[in-house]
Structure formats: C-alpha cells, structure tokens
Amino acid sequence: MKKGLAVAAATLMSASLVLSACGSANDKANNSAGTGNANADAPAKSDANAPANSSTEPADEPANEPVAKDVTLSLRHTQIKETSKVRLKILQDVVAKTLGENPGLKINLEGIDEVVNRDQKLKAEMAAGNPPDIFEVFGGADLNLYVKAGRMLDLTPIIDELGIKDQFASLDEFTIDGKVYGLPFGGYSEGVFYNKKLFADMGLTVPKTFDELMTLADAIKAKGKTPFALAAKDAWVNGMLWNTVMERHVGIKGFEGLVTGATKWTDPDFVAGFADYAKLVDNDYFTKGSLGLPYAEQGARFLKGDAAMVFTGTWDANRFTGDEAGDLKGNIGYFSFPSIAGGKGDQTSINASYSNGFGFSSNLSDDQKAMVKAFIKNFFNEDIQKRTLLEDKVLPSMKLSDLSGVDPLISEVLQVMASASSSWKAFDAIVQPSVGADVGVGLQELIGKVKKPDAVAKEIQASQDKANAQK
Amino acid sequence: MNKALRNPWTYAAFVVPTLLLYALFFVYPVIVSFIYGLYRWDGVSPKVFIGIDNFKRLLQDAVFLKALGNNLYFMAFSLIVNIPLVFLIAVAISKVRRMRGFYKSAVFIPVVISTATVAILFGVLYDYESGLINQALRLVGGDGWALEWLSKPNLAMLSILIANAWQNVGFFIVLCLAAILNIPREITDAAKIDGVNGWSETRLVTLPLIRPILFVILLLTVSGTLKVLDIVQIMTNGGPFQSTEVMSTYMLKVGFRSLELGYGSAIGVAMFVITMIMTGVLQRMSKSEEVQF
C-alpha cells in the first residue's frame, strides 16, 4: 500500500512536471506560430497572445446591435524600433479604425524584429503552413517561394472590388502570373544623399558623370573629408552603390540574363562594373575601417559631417530630416547616381522598388477574408499614404494627388524619382539567394583590397553556374 | 518507504520526464537534422533527396574548412592563452588576504554582462576613427599606429578572441579559485614543512590537486569554442569577406540567407560530430586522473 502510494505520488509529481513544462513549451509554440490555424475561434486563441501583443478590442461596442460574429485576425509587423514608432502608430490607428467599424473583430498585433521575421520566423511558419493571418512580406524571391508553396492569399479579387488596383505606383514585385499576392505600403529609391553645406563651402556642384564624380571626390578628399560614408560589415549595404554602378554598365537586361545564362559575370561589361567600383575603393573614397562598421554608422558619419555623401535608400530620409541631423537639417540633398560613359545601361535610371508590403495567409476563412478586405480598405488609401509620407517620410506606394506640406528633402527625392528615365529592382531580387550572398563576399573582398575585379567576377560566376544548374 | 525505493519504477517515474524533454529538445532535433542533411531543401518547397552529397560538398567547401580552421584557432587561443591566464590569476587571488572578495567580484563582472553587450562594447572600442584603443595608440605612436581592428582579416579574428577572453576568463577564474581554496590546509602545511614554497608550491601542490577542475575548464572551453556563435555574429558577422566565419555563423548563413536548409543541416551535423569526437577524446583522457584528498 505504502509502496503504491509512493509510486503514485512520484508519478503525479513527475507528470505535473512534464505537464507544466509542456504547457510552457506549448505557449511558446503558440506564440511563435502566431494564431496559425484558420479557425476563427476567438476564445481559444486569446490565450496565445504573447505578452508583447497589444490585443485591442473594440472599446465602445454598441450593446443593442445584432450579435456580431467573432472574428480574430493575427497581424505580424516589424515596426518595433525607436525609428519606426511613427509607422507603428499609423498601423495602430488603422487597426483601431477597422475594429471600430467591425464589432466582434479582434486583431492581435505582434511586433518582432525585421530580420528575424524575414529570415527565420516567417520562413519556418511558411514551411509548416501556419503563417500569421496578416504579415509583412517582401516581394520578389521570398514571395515567389511562398506562392509556389500555396501559402499566399490571392488579393486580385479584393483589390478589384475595392477599385484600388490602378492606384498603386507598381505592383510588379507582388504580381506572379498576373495575380497579386501582396500590397506594398511604401517604396524607396537608392541614390546619393549629399551635404549641401559642405558642397557650398567647397564650391562643388552635383556631378552628372562618373568622371565628374571622381573629380568631386578627389576635391573632397583633398579638404580632409571622406567623400562617401560607408559601413561595409553587412553585405547588402555595399550592394547598393555597386548595384547602380553595375546597372550603368550592363543594364537591367544584363542582370536578368545571368539567371538564364544569356550573360555572365565574367563578361567585359560586368568586369568593367566591378573595376569602376574598385576604383572608388582604391582611391580611398570610402570611410576607413568600413568593413568593421554596422549599417547605422554610415548615416551617423554622414550626419556628423565627416563624410560629404552617402549612397543609400530613401528609407534613411526620415533619419536625415530628423533631430539627429542637427545643423544639417534642411541642408541635405539627394541626386541620382551619375551616368557612366559607354555603359550599356539606362544612364538616368534609378533603383526603385515597392517590395515591402503586407501579405495575407491563404488559409483564411470567408469571415476573415471579409475583415481582411476592411483592413485593406482602411490601410491602402490616399489619406494613410499621405500621412505616411508626411510623418514617416516613406515614399508612397500609391499615387497621390495632393503633395502639400511635404519636407523639402522628400520632395527632392520625389522629384529625382519622377525625373528618372526608368526604374529597376535590386540585383538580389533577380539572382538566386546563394549568388546574392557570394556577391556580398566579393564586394567585401574588393573593399578589403584583397582581390582584383576579374577574380571576383570569376568567383561569382562559378556560384552562378552552380545555382543555375540546380533549377 | 524503503520498499518503495527498491522498486525500479519509482526511479523511472522521476527520470522519465527529464528523459522525455531531453528526447524532444535534443535527441529528436539531432536525428531530424541528420535526415534533413540528406536533402536539398529551400525550407518551403518539397525536399529533394540527394543522399550524402551535402556531406561530400562539405569536405570540398573552402569556406566551411576555413570556418573549421577558425574554430580551431579560437580553441587553440583559448587553451594556450586563456587557461594559463585563468590559472595565474586564480593563484594570485588565492594568495592575497585583503579584499579577496573584491577581486573575486571584479573578475566575475564581465561574465554577468550578456555577450551581445560585450560584442557591441568592444565594437565601439575597436572603431578605427573614434575607438578608445586607436585613440590611445595614436597618442603613443602617432597616426601610423592606429589599426583597423575589425576590418583587416588577419586582425579581426584576434580582436574577437580578445573580447571573448575578457568576457569568459572570469567564470573560469572563479571555478579555479574555489578549487584552490578547497585544498586542505594540512596538505599545504605539510608541503611547507617539506621545504616547498612560492612557485614550487604552486607547481607541485596546487596544480596537481586542482587538475580535475582544470579538466572541466578544458572541456568547457573545447565545446564552447566549437559552437561559438553570438560574439562573432555581432562583432563581424563572419566578415570581412568570411575571414572570421566560424561553423555556426556559416551554418546560419547557408541555412537562412542562402536558403539551403539541407546543406545548413549538414553543417550542423558536422559540428555535432566534431564536438562529440573532441570532447569524447578528452573524457577518455580524464578517466585515469582521479584526485582524492
């Protein structure tokens, strides 16, 4: 009897251990999976809220309305940094508005880090088939993969019904076989931000050609300043300026040909592109010790006045017009990268993209789809787009009829974009991810001056051959 | 009660939960990684079985071999520089009578700081323009003395190792110190009567008696350096141009950046096997060395 009791007690204790452990493990799984399965059973889901989730319920639910259907949507965003609190506020306002209009609706917001979402969490969820209902997603390679796996909701009927399809600047990166699988909430272009004060002090003007740029950079260097701020620790940062130099040489068709084998990285124009980039490096136009610097540093150095220019995307415009800019506030300009004589590309084109947007899970119920439509209607309209442009300085993804009150730097950016002869998407949205990674390594080798342009080109072509052979 | 303790099921009841968790979070992932290592898989599309091709590729992958080399460099540095340092500092602290508590906490403080913080702090110290280290060097020897700590491939690894040493030795010192202070007075007193003092006491008495702890430190160092990830990831992200890549950062890159999850799993399995073999050999070696007071 005693023995039985002891065994029972031990079993009970250990069982409770297992259960509690499993309980917490389950919670974790639930949190990481968002509210994966598509059933709209609100009470069951409410316990899956992560502590960070701000689950908002309609505050003033009218008591005497017909019983509203309970619908829950999970929404994953990445606006958790100090720099993106404005964008988060806009998102929260849209959510609140949607909730107010739809009693019974519940939207669980979950904010996580951008890189973690893009590279790990969302990918894992996509593989398992349980992404959040609404989530931030990148057009291009990522989206392609998810659409192929059947995880993305086809939005074509929804935007047709709302009549907003033609209002977007470009849906290219979210369109696959004529169907739209995501909606960009903003766009960007990449070009040169420059310190107008420094330019004026040194009597410099915006360069129109690559040769003029070199002369200009030499003049800046002679005055003891760094021509270009650069933080080269993360490969994608180096890719931006290089990408534009390369496009001037080979054209966007050249990039597209890499995947089919029509062009090769070792072709003379490509090698010339690498060589021109290496020229910038070899003349010491970039921040010294850049290979050890994280991305935020290049903006910091530019704003400190150490460097006269920085090549980056317009997402940095918000920072450049903010308080951190100090004296430079209002003294920063933007120009498109100069043309390169003899290049095959479109010499006045610009790298612009509308690839950052919202996607929706394909396993939504009809009720959830209706709510998604309400959310889209409230989020993708001129009011919100204008607000995003004014408050967050993100370039609108929809055409705006009214541009009053826009910051001077932002209107300069919009002007540069409008006057570009064409726009194209970044190379890493064209070539395979493994090739993109090897381009990153090759550029760092150029920056570290350990390899010659033709050697780098050869290495990347080897990687391209391997990637092309796999598909 | 005794009867219950003699019943094997009682023991099983206590052990099973842990075993279950161990199986779920350790054994299962290892087995699954090995299986994934046999496929070509981008994480979302269906897997393609390719046999042991991924493992064959590993042996010819220059970057992986470089990463393995860096792990071994990491390990060698820790064994040759850190462990003697740990021992010397521990002996020194054991000799002082006054403020021993202060020294003990002082060496332990870096351990309490999270690795991410340490990595970022050292990143600031190493900055070419404004870092404290280069400023000091410039004061001493002029502009020519300033070094590109994190962006020159031959220096970057060393810079990481120094930061890592700063953070990790504290823990080992405290372990070592505890062992030294645990040596019974009688033994040291007897040794003194026999004419042992100063250095020879350390060499002939302390060192042999704390050997088991040194072995634990050795084991922790070996397994720790083979799986090192965070400090490298944050300080250099494996760069410049993969010169500081270690196995774990390369695994992350291959798996999640290049989306080759099959190959990434193969790297993980390789790490597992290498660590198993190394620690296994060490365990074998330690068997014969029991110390009893």
Asked whether residue B88 is domain-assigned, the answer is yes
| pLDDT higher than threshold 80 for residue A159 | yes
What value does the mean pLDDT take over residues A260-281? Answer: 89
- State the smallest CA–CA distance between residue A432 and chain B in angstroms: 8
| pLDDT higher than threshold 80 for residue A38 | no
Asked whether residue B282 is domain-assigned, the answer is yes
E strand or H helix at B55: helix B53-60
User: Is the CB of B148 less than 8 angstroms away from the CB of A288?
Assistant: yes
Torsion of CA A161, A166, A170, A175, to 10 degrees: 40
Where residue B184 sits, what CATH number does that domain have? 1.10.3720.10
Give residues with Cβ within 8 angstroms of A268, minimum separation 6.
none
The number of beta carbons lying within 10 Å of the beta carbon of residue A205 is: 9
Six token digits for residue B221: 């160092």
| pLDDT higher than threshold 50 for residue A54 | no
| pLDDT higher than threshold 50 for residue B128 | yes
Task: Give pTM, 2 decimals.
Answer: 0.73
Condensed to tens digits (0 to 9), the pLDDT of residues B268-283 reads: 999 999 999 988 888 8
User: Is the CB of B239 less than 8 angstroms away from the CB of A3?
Assistant: no
DSSP calls for A194-236? EEHHHHHHHT----SBHHHHHHHHHHHHHTT-EEEE---SSHH
User: Is the CB of B150 less than 8 angstroms away from the CB of A292?
Assistant: yes
For residue B292, the model assigns a pLDDT of: 60
For residue A43, the model assigns a pLDDT of: 40
Task: Tell which wins on pLDDT, A230 or A30.
Answer: A230
Of the partner residues B1, B44, B123, the one whose CB lies closest to the CB of residue A2: B1
User: Is the CB of A6 less than 8 angstroms away from the CB of B10?
Assistant: yes
For residue A4, the model assigns a pLDDT of: 56
Q: Which of A113, A237, A439, A441 to mutate to test the interface with B (most CBs of B within 10 A)?
A: A441
- Residue A437: closest C-alpha in chain B: B258
Cα angle, residue A141 at apex, residues A133 and B30 outer, rounded to 5°: 75
What value does the mean pLDDT take over residues A216-236? Answer: 87
User: Is the CB of B240 less than 8 angstroms away from the CB of A447?
Assistant: yes
Give chain B's mean pLDDT: 86
For residue B68, the model assigns a pLDDT of: 92
Which CATH superfamily, name and number, covers A188-353+416-470?
Periplasmic binding protein-like II (3.40.190.10)
Structure letter (DSSP) for residue B278: H
| pLDDT higher than threshold 90 for residue B23 | yes
| pLDDT higher than threshold 80 for residue B44 | no
Instruction: Identify the band that residue A23 occupies on the pLDDT scale cut at 50, 70 and 90.
Output: very low
- State the smallest CA–CA distance between residue B56 and chain A in angstroms: 15
- State the smallest CA–CA distance between residue B33 and chain A in angstroms: 15
The number of beta carbons lying within 10 Å of the beta carbon of residue B40 is: 16
- Residue A6: closest C-alpha in chain B: B4
Condensed to tens digits (0 to 9), the pLDDT of residues B181-196 reads: 888 888 888 888 888 8
Contacts of B242 in chain A (CB under 8 A): 441
Contacts of B236 in chain A (CB under 8 A): 233, 292
For residue A63, the model assigns a pLDDT of: 46
Condensed to tens digits (0 to 9), the pLDDT of residues A397-420 reads: 887 777 777 788 888 888 888 888
Contacts of A452 in chain B (CB under 8 A): none
For residue A25, the model assigns a pLDDT of: 39
Query: What gap in Å lies between CA B163 and CA B174, rounded to an integer?
Result: 19
Q: The domain at A35-187+355-392 falls in which architecture? A: 3-Layer(aba) Sandwich (3.40)
User: What's the distance, Cα to Cα, between the start and end of chain A in Å?
Assistant: 68
What is the residue range of B263's domain?
A: 61-286
Q: Contact, A292 vs B152, CB < 8 A?
A: no
For residue B290, the model assigns a pLDDT of: 58
Instruction: Identify the band that residue A471 occupies on the pLDDT scale cut at 50, 70 and 90.
Output: low
Where are the CATH 3.40.190.10 domain residues in chain A?
35-187+355-392, 188-353+416-470
For residue A67, the model assigns a pLDDT of: 56
Asked whether residue B55 is domain-assigned, the answer is no
Least confident range of A218-232, A321-335, A350-364, B80-94: A321-335
User: Is the CB of A21 less than 8 angstroms away from the CB of B127?
Assistant: no
For residue A60, the model assigns a pLDDT of: 46
What value does the mean pLDDT take over residues B11-25? Answer: 91
What value does the mean pLDDT take over residues A85-106? Answer: 89
Query: What gap in Å lies between CA B75 and CA A306, rounded to an integer?
Result: 39
A121 touches chain B (CB under 8 A): no
Instruction: Identify the band that residue B76 occupies on the pLDDT scale cut at 50, 70 and 90.
Output: very high
A21 touches chain B (CB under 8 A): yes
| pLDDT higher than threshold 80 for residue A251 | yes
Asked whether residue B48 is domain-assigned, the answer is no
| pLDDT higher than threshold 50 for residue B49 | yes
Asked whether residue B272 is domain-assigned, the answer is yes
User: Is the CB of B239 less than 8 angstroms away from the CB of A444?
Assistant: yes
Contacts of B239 in chain A (CB under 8 A): 232-233, 235, 291, 444
What value does the mean pLDDT take over residues A38-60? Answer: 41
| pLDDT higher than threshold 60 for residue A252 | yes
Task: Tell which wins on pLDDT, B198 or A211.
Answer: A211
The letter for the amino acid at A244 is: T
| pLDDT higher than threshold 90 for residue B20 | yes
| pLDDT higher than threshold 50 for residue A79 | yes
- Residue A146: closest C-alpha in chain B: B44
Number of domains, chain B: 1
For residue A47, the model assigns a pLDDT of: 41
Of the partner residues A17, A123, A234, the one whose CB lies closest to the CB of residue B17: A17
Give chain A's mean pLDDT: 80
Instruction: Identify the band that residue A294 occupies on the pLDDT scale cut at 50, 70 and 90.
Output: confident
Asked whether residue B13 is domain-assigned, the answer is no
| pLDDT higher than threshold 60 for residue B94 | yes
What value does the mean pLDDT take over residues B214-235? Answer: 88
Q: Contact, B226 vs B247, CB < 8 A?
A: yes
